[in-house]
Structure 1
Amino acid sequence: MSVLGRSSLAATRAPMAAAWRRTASKSKAATSSSSSVTSSSCFSTSSAARKPPTGVLLMNMGGPSTLDEVGDFLSRLFHDRDLIQLPFQSTLAPLIAKRRTPKIVEQYDKIGGGSPILRWTRSQGAAMAKMLDELHPSTAPHKAYTAFRYARPLTGEALDEMRADGVERAVAFTQYPQYSCSTTGSSLNELFREIQRRKAADSGAPEANIQWSVIDRWPTHPGLVQAFTNRLQAALNTYPAEERHKVPIMFSAHSLPMQIVSGRGDPYPAEVAATVAAVMTKLGWSNPYRVTWQSQVGPSAWLGPQTSDTVKGWAKQGYKDLVVVPIAFTQDHIETLYELDIELHEEAEEHGIRLKRAESLNDEPTFLRALADITAAHLDSLALTGPGSSSSSSSSSTVGPHVWAQGNTSRQMQLRCPGCVNPVCGEQKRFFADNTMGVGEDALR
């Protein structure tokens, strides 16, 4: 059972000057293979000397890279009040983390001794930045940074690296395609709090005065949909042609407690469903399918049906083959490599089901291009200002507009959940929207 699932029980103007476009488009990405917390460099030394990079901050939950990091990872997770609210949390969180650490260490040991999510995030970021330099030279060079919520590199470490690189403008790019307050919302709240902490400590701190915008969701982006379709079609193609359209498909996503969905009004289930519908449309609705939810823990009501229960139910109905698609994850990590590849496969075998999993997106070429396209379209949608910018310049991006590129944030992000009681959410939404919120309570201020 996933770490995030367990934790949820324990109670998301003009482009820059054209003068440097020609030099930026010639810069070459230099991807570091180091396992340290410093992100891969995606801009050349000569370009960096002339102009700081446009930062693209890839935000995700993260995972421990080694077994020794599991305890700290769990402790940070259980301290996160955006995710879990416990009585006496500062006291209980480290105790819960300590108790759970041995079992979670065993799980990470079974998938190779740690999570590969940092490695995949860095390689995806390096590929994205290299393509982005060509797609959107007016804001080049670009550099990808990683900010994990519970594992290193943490948000503060990413801001330290941005300061060292002299970053003045950055895009916070969630790596959760579908928005949830418990994932993207928590990461943005932490980024907002860290920026405010640094402003309070030193109002002139460069990293505290970066001009930010946010890619807060992208559930139906054509590149994402095509990448998922490619992975799924490859799995279906392993069956004989006369049989493959009969194989049921499970689109599995991390579940949420119903109190978050029904009580708070979290948009996550609807956005997962939107991704699934887009993929099935690409497939021509060729196969029977269901959206299922993994990682439920405990007796309280969660989104269902559960992925494991679906396997058992279909086995009773006589199905012998099944394909599972991790539809809410863009990299391999414990929920794919352990929950699906080990736990779910064992359950399927016990019930006479031959289970196949569609490969995670990871290094899928269409997906890597999608990351660059999404960022380029977002940059095109911004009203940028800053040193060296020119209001008469026009973007040389080859990427057309996309429905989710709506300025500093999407309009969806500007609307708080109807059951939200966290004041930080409203503050960070106004901050990242650059005080241009145009919907809800903030449109009246």
Structure 2
Amino acid sequence: MSIYKNIKYINEEGKLHRWKPKTGVLLLNIGSSKSEKDCLRHLTCMFTDRDLIQLPCQSILGRIIALAARKNSIRKHKLVGGFSFVNYWTGVQAEMLRQYLDYHSPETGPHAVLHCQRYSEPTAEDVIQELLKLDVDFCVVFPLYPQYSVSSTLSNLRNLDRAIDAYDSNGKIKWSVIQSFNSHPSFLKLIADSILNTLNEFPEDERNTVNIIFTAHSLPLSLIEQGDIYKSEIEKNLKKVKSILGLPNNIYLSWQSQEGKKWIEPKTLDVIKSITLMEGYGNANILVFPLSFVSDHVETLYDIDVLQNNYAKECGVKCFKRCESFNDDPRFIEVLGDIFMDHIKILNHDIKVTNEDELDHFLNFALVDNNIKKYIDGPIDSKKKLNQLHSNHSNHVFYNKSIERVQWNKRYKLMLIMLFLFITFSLFLINYFSVLY
């Protein structure tokens, strides 16, 4: 973690100084298991997180699910060649971004670019302590989730907020947040270029008939019904990419990695099957782009490269390709740099929002304030946000009390059901043992 604090330099007067960053950048990501032994801890952190999934008796049931999922998770990691993909690539991206910003944005430099993983190391506690050691006064939080979601972006921000309360309760570090970046022109162009480059790997006479599937990680429908804007962010992202591409190809949106029945559909495997049924065995070409991921991990290396690829072969797909993840692609680092610099340019500007397009721009770049707590009050739909911005656009606090009430009502119902089942089971045991003895 402490890769910056011991750097020293000699100034123009010949005096020795310790390197001090002017701006901090904190990349947020989901994290991954470091090893087979670490797998259970990683899964436990995931399934006990109520922002990711809501369960009755979360701390107990979440641990049971993690224990049940451990063996399968280890198998997947072994099939794709190891562990810690997310941690590794986020670290690489952080260092590349630091070099890029130091060169292209000297007015905000020098930069300290760190990364924080939600369910693995380095933790939020680690990075807050590191930023304090570096004497950073201002830091931009940059979640590496292109589309905002309660289960990813908000979960990371809440986790970070807890670490700030624990280690920087006096508020030495001032914060700014980039909420999402799926509509940034540079990011949209990068996606389009990636698809066009991969299309060129197909025979020239077949390129216009290649089926393009944009796949994203699915979420429980209950989260969407409660106001999570993730699905609409994905759909908006796809719509803009399609307009840039302007291709005659069939384009599909699908969802992968479902963990339950009532999740967003259609499933990617079902879309693959329907394509082969329409075009016939041995005729279909498919290109898959992972829309909600910016680096390789089990979701791409196993769910797409192994599971979906093998299923496509079984269905008779002629050729199945996936667009390469961005990983250490310099073009992606340039995109992150553009987003950061655009964010800084409008940081202190008062932005008036009058329509949906401007709202979209506002959400992506200008959710800025020195108090990170203003981003952890829960999601609400775009129209409500727009109405609030009309009334007071200088106040970037978005509340959703109705969602909170719905969540608590569901919790009370679950508690009553669990209590009823416990009493019923207890009476059964008492009756059983009284008869037995």
2:274 maps to: 313
Partner of 2:396: 437
* Equivalent position to 1:156, from 102, 125, 132: 125
Q: CA deviation at 1:42?
A: 11
Question: How far has the Cα of 1:75 moved from its partner?
Answer: 0.9
1:373 maps to which residue? 338
Q: Structure 1 39/128 Cα, relative in aligned 2: closer, same or farther at 3 Å?
A: farther
Counterpart selection for 1:346 from 302, 305, 310: 310
- Normalised TM-score (structure 2): 0.77
> Within 2, Cα distance between the matches of 1:415 and 1:285?
40
Q: Is the 8 A contact 1:177 1:217 kept in 2?
A: yes
Any idea what SS the aligned residue of 1:253 has?
strand
Q: Which residue in the other structure is 2:56 paired with? A: 87
Q: Which moved more, 1:358-367 or 1:339-348?
A: 358-367
Structure 2 counterparts to residues 201-216 of structure 1, below 5 A: 203-204=169-170, 208-216=171-179
Partner of 2:357: none
Alignment length (residue pairs): 366
Letter of the structure 2 residue corresponding to residue 308 of structure 1 = L
Structure 1 contact 220–275 (Cα < 8 Å) conserved? yes
> What residue in structure 1 maps to residue 234 of structure 2?
272
1: CA distance between counterparts of 2:259 and 2:397? 38
* Alignment correspondent of 1:229: 192
Return the offset for 1:50.
5.1
What SS does the aligned partner of 1:68 have? coil
CA–CA distance in structure 2, aligned partners of residues 340 and 49 of structure 1: 46
CA drift of 1:85 comes to 2.2
In the TM superposition, what is the alpha-carbon distance from 1:436 to its structure 2 partner? 3.6
Shift of 1:189: 0.9
Secondary structure of 2:241's match? helix
- Write the distance in 2 (CA, Å) between the matches of 1:322 and 1:293: 15
Question: 105-114 or 160-169: which moved more?
Answer: 160-169
Q: From 177, 180, 193, give the equivalent of 2:162.
A: 193
Q: Which has the higher helix share?
A: 2
Once the 2 structures are TM-superposed, how far is the Cα of residue 43 of structure 1 from its aligned partner?
10
Shift of 1:103: 1.4
Relative to the length of structure 1, the TM-score reads 0.76
* SS of corresponding position for 1:217: coil
Equivalent position of 1:337 in the other structure: 301
Query: Which residue of 202, 205, 211 maps to 1:248?
Result: 211
Quote how far apart the aligned CAs of 1:439 are. 6.1
How many Å separate the matches in 2 of 1:51 and 1:298?
A: 48
Query: In the alignment, is the contact (CA less than 8 A) between 1:227 and 1:361 conserved in 2?
Result: no
SS in 1 for 2:33: coil
Instruction: Kindly state the Cα deviation for residue 278 of structure 1 after the two structures are TM-superposed.
Output: 2.3
Q: Name the SS of the counterpart of 1:57 in structure 2.
A: strand
How far apart are 1:271 and its partner, in Å?
Answer: 1.3
- Give, in angstroms, the shift of residue 322 of structure 1: 0.6
Amino acid in structure 2 at the alignment position of 1:317: M
Q: Report if aligned partners of 1:83, 1:182 keep a CA contact under 8 Å in 2.
A: yes
Question: Which consecutive residues of structure 2, in runs of 5 or more, have no partner in the other structure?
Answer: 12-16, 350-360, 382-393, 402-437
Residue 142 of structure 2 corresponds to residue 173 of structure 1: yes
Q: Is the 8 A contact 1:40 1:122 kept in 2?
A: no
- Per-residue deviation at 1:89? 2.0
Q: Which has the higher contact order (CA 8 A, sep 6+)?
A: 1
Structure 1 residues 191, 415: closer, same or farther in 2, change over 3 A? Answer: closer
Q: What residue number does 2:325 align with?
A: 360
Matched, 1:303 2:252: no
Correspondence for 1:97: 66
Give the secondary structure class of the aligned counterpart of 1:383: coil
Structure 1 residues 83, 414: CA separation in 2 closer, same or farther (over 3 Å shift)? Answer: closer
Q: Sort the Cα spacing of 1:407 and 1:81 in 2 relative to 1 into closer, same or farther, 3 A.
A: closer
1:70 matches 2:23: no
Of 401, 405, 411, the residue aligned with 2:365 is 405
Q: Is the 8 A contact 1:57 1:170 kept in 2?
A: yes
Matched with 1:24 is: none
